[in-house]
Every structure is written in structure tokens, then in C-alpha cells.
Amino acid sequence: MSGRVVLALPPAVRTALWQHLLPNGKGSEEAAFVFAMHEARNGAELLRCVEWRQVPPEGFVSRSGFHLELTDETRAGVIKRAHDLGASLVEFHSHTGSWSAEFSGSDLAGFREFVPHIWWRLKGRPYVAVVVTHSGFDGFAWLTGPRVPEPLGGILVDENLLTPTGLSRWEAGSDD
């Protein structure tokens, strides 16, 4: 396993996630959550999927091809489910254009607001965010605190390690 932080997904979950996040056509951004158990393994941090949930159309306040906002009920529901499972939370969302996988400026601003709340609600369990495009994915993981993430090292499907684009950059801000 290479990379410090790896998300393990069963093949059927990986397929279903990508089908949900990237339906035919370009359309609006989609979102889903994976609930994962965290373990240290061979010098890496492994998050193993135990369950996943797609966000249905009514789970958004708004969304377009460039932005999405979840309802308070959706956020509360996934936090409660992660809490009940004793699991970490992994957020997935899609960018539907023809560009490479990279978090947008609005994604990064949202993390600065949302991740500290999640970190507090889930009592310090890791939080991971993944952006998916038609050509790849990228991700961040908050393992030791809610302010500064580290890059996601990959997604393990069976024995195949899928590697992220690594294009996303976390710029240190005044709160980091």
C-alpha cells in the first residue's frame, strides 16, 4: 500500500458510487457519503468502507454543474449515522465538466467551515473528502485535527490501488 491515507472500497461500492456521481450527461454535481472504519496498517492509515449512502435530489438546498449545498437534515443524518456506527465519514462529490479532478475554491472554503464541525461532532474521528470527475479523483484527509488535511494516497479496490490526481492544494490560512 503506498500513500499514507488509503480508502478501501468493495468493487460493487466503487462502481455504484461512480455511477451515482457521474450519471450520463454532464448535469448537476452529485454527492454521496461513505461510512468507514479507521485502522493503522503497515505504516498507513486505512479507512475501510462499511456502508455508503447517496444523497437524493431532496437532500440538496441547491445544486448546479458548479456548486452544491446540502440540507441541514442531510448533514445531520449522515453525522448521526457515522456516530451510530462509530465510523469516520467520507464525503464524495462530483465535478461534471471536462476538467481534471481538483477541489474548487468554493470546495476549499466549505471545508474550512464544515470540517471543524464534523470533527467536533464525531469526537475526532478522521474526515475524508473526495472529488470525482470523468477522468479521475482527488482527495484530502483530516486525521489529526480539523484544520490542515493531508492528501489522500489512493482508493483500494480489491488489490488495485487507484491513485488520485494530486492536483488539489491546501493553502495555509489564518486559521491553520
Residue 176 lies in a domain: no
Q: Is residue 175 part of a domain?
A: no
| 94 in a structural domain | yes
Q: Does residue 56 sit within a domain?
A: yes
pLDDT category, 11, cuts 50, 70, 90?
A: very high
More reliable by pLDDT, 51 or 41: 51
CATH code at 111? Answer: 3.40.140.10
Residue 43, Cβ density class (10 Å: 0-12 exposed, 13-18 middle, ≥19 buried): exposed
Say how many domains are in the chain. Answer: 1
Quick check: 175 pLDDT over 70?
A: no
Q: Cβ atoms within 10 A of the Cβ of 20, count?
A: 17
Domain assignment present for 170: no
Q: What is the pLDDT of residue 111?
A: 94
Instruction: Say if 145 falls within a structural domain.
Output: yes
pLDDT above 90 covers a percentage of the chain that reads 80
By residue range, what is the domain housing residue 63? 5-162
